[in-house]
Amino acid sequence: MNATPPDDRLAILVVDDETLIAMLLEDLLLDLDCTVVGPASTVAQSLALVENGGGTLDGALLDINLRGELVYPVADVLAARGVPFVFITGNAQHGIDPRYAAIPALAKPFSNDTISDVVESFRERRARVGG
């Protein structure tokens, strides 16, 4: 697992408990010239990565349900630090916490273009805030 980007590439935290999805996201992000932080498959792993590389995170892709454990503690820390994130969900029935109603939620399966658009939004935000 990586915690700190080696250069000016975007550092994106990946949190997903499905190994194949995490690998797919990692490959997509690398193709988009990003540094992948993680992937993490639990809230505890995610929080450790945020603590170790949180000052350098440019964004995060968060699976809402990690084998029954909800990712909201990670979202809380990211929101407090001003790190943008999107949720990923394979279960449309699983509602999003009302605190995060304004945060985009990507349905699995997602397209490469959708992830590219998310990364571009992270890139634009970083340019605006001077990162």
pLDDT computed for residue 48 by the predictor: 97
Q: Is the pLDDT of residue 76 over 70?
A: yes
Considering the domain boundaries, does residue 86 fall inside one? Answer: yes
Percentage of the chain lying above the pLDDT 90 cut: 79
Considering the domain boundaries, does residue 85 fall inside one? Answer: yes
Tell which residue, 72, 74, 89, 86, has the closest CA to residue 21. 89
Q: Which amino acid, residue 28?
A: L
Name 85's bridge partners. Answer: 60
- Write the DSSP symbol of residue 70: E
Total-model pTM: 0.91
* More confidently predicted of 5 and 23: 23
> Half-sphere exposure of residue 78, counting CA atoms within 13 Å on the CB side?
28
Cα–Cα distance measured from residue 110 to residue 32, given in angstroms and rounded to the nearest whole number: 16
**Token digits of residue 87:** 């949720």
Considering the domain boundaries, does residue 1 fall inside one? Answer: no
User: How much is the average pLDDT of 7-22?
Assistant: 94
pLDDT computed for residue 67 by the predictor: 93
**CATH number, residue 22:** 3.40.50.2300
**Pairing status of strand 34-40 against strand 10-15:** parallel
Please count the structural domains in the chain: 1
Cα–Cα distance measured from residue 121 to residue 84, given in angstroms and rounded to the nearest whole number: 9
Percentage of the chain lying above the pLDDT 70 cut: 89
Considering the domain boundaries, does residue 43 fall inside one? Answer: yes
Considering the domain boundaries, does residue 4 fall inside one? Answer: no
Q: Which amino acid, residue 82?
A: G
Considering the domain boundaries, does residue 3 fall inside one? Answer: no
Q: Is the pLDDT of residue 1 over 90?
A: no
Considering the domain boundaries, does residue 5 fall inside one? Answer: no
Considering the domain boundaries, does residue 45 fall inside one? Answer: yes
Q: Which amino acid, residue 113?
A: D
Q: Is the pLDDT of residue 5 over 50?
A: no
Print the domain residue range for 98: 10-129
